[in-house]
Amino acid sequence: MTEAPHEPTVEERQTANFLGLILLLRQMASQLIQEKRIPDARGLIDALAAIQAKTEGNLREREKAMLEEVLYELRMAVLHADEDSTEANEEGGEGEKEGDRPSEADGSADPDGAEEPSEGAST
């Protein structure tokens, strides 16, 4: 005889939904960090920290451990991204971003670095 599949309890479904929410927020924050949208990522990290504070004492050990691990991981990723950003600014000059410079792709920069004379100027 085949045993009937186990129907999850309300508690098991709530745990799965909670963990799914934490993992979804982690994925979203990780994507923002990769895109260098650190303020937006911090907003999600703050939301996770608020969830942690508001659910304190009500989480199962697995839920608590997952939330702590995700917060630690994301905070370290932001710290690392901030360090990378600081190093890039120190090496490449303050305030200059990739989109601020003319590129060869749009034809606005001379590959040799020389400026083209403007119309009407003698050469």
pLDDT of residue 13: 96
Q: Is the pLDDT of residue 65 over 70?
A: yes
Cα separation, 12 vs 18, in Å, equals: 10
The residue-averaged pLDDT of 6-35 equals 96
Burial class (CB in 10 A: 0-12, 13-18, 19+), 44: buried
Q: Give yes or no for residue 32 having a pLDDT over 90.
A: yes
d(CA 123, CA 120): 9
73-119 pLDDT, tens digit per residue, is 999 999 999 887 777 777 765 444 444 444 444 444 444 444 444 45
Alpha-carbon torsion 87, 90, 96, 102, what sign?
negative
Weakest-pLDDT range from 5-19, 41-55, 78-92, 102-116: 102-116
Comparing 15-24, 30-39, 98-107, the range with the smallest average pLDDT is 98-107
First to last CA, the chain: 94
Please tell me the least confidently modeled range out of 3-12, 60-69, 78-87: 78-87
- The 3-class secondary structure across the chain, one letter per residue, is CCCCCCCCCHHHHHHHHHHHHHHHHHHHHHHHHHCCCHHHHHHHHHHHHHHHHHCCCCCCHHHHHHHHHHHHHHHHHHHHHHHHHHHHHHHHCCCCCHHHCCCCCCCCCCCCCCCCCCCCCCC
What pLDDT was estimated at residue 97?
47
Mean pLDDT taken over the chain: 81
